Amino acid sequence: MTSRFPALGTPIKVRWMSGTLGTSPGPSTYWIDAVVWVTPEVGQQLRATSPQPSPEAPTLVAGVRAELPDGILLTSDALRSRFQTASWWPTVYILKDADVVVISALGE
């Protein structure tokens, strides 16, 4: 996770699942869903991107969704841009009152 998304710093705990979309043969699109407990310092840095309450809950696979703590999820384009790379296009949230990041990403 940290090699793909360095903005996570050194996480305290991670629950993630991944896979591919489509059928073989041919190019594949990969997906990752994750709930990541980050250090308070990283949580503070990510909240400094001025995220706002999300009007929608993230769509996560059941095994990851079950790990998502209750609370208000915040998101913003600035937060997302901290995680976007040339090969990964994430939707990113952070809990308002906890140092927990939620990522749902597609990549190649």
Q: Where are the domains of the chain?
A: 6-107
Q: What are phi and psi of 96, to 5 degrees?
A: -60, -40
Rounded to whole angstroms, how far apart are CA atoms 48 and 41?
A: 11
Q: What is the pLDDT of residue 29?
A: 85
Element (H, E) at 17: strand 13-21
Apex 63 CA angle, 45 and 17, nearest 5: 65
**Per-residue model confidence (pLDDT) at position 37:** 98
Q: So what's the pLDDT on residue 24?
A: 64
Query: What is the rounded distance in angstroms from the CA atom of residue 85 to the CA atom of residue 99?
Result: 22
pLDDT score for 43: 97
pLDDT along the chain (108 residues), means of 10: 94 95 71 97 95 92 96 96 93 97 94
Residue carrying structure tokens 């939620």:
102
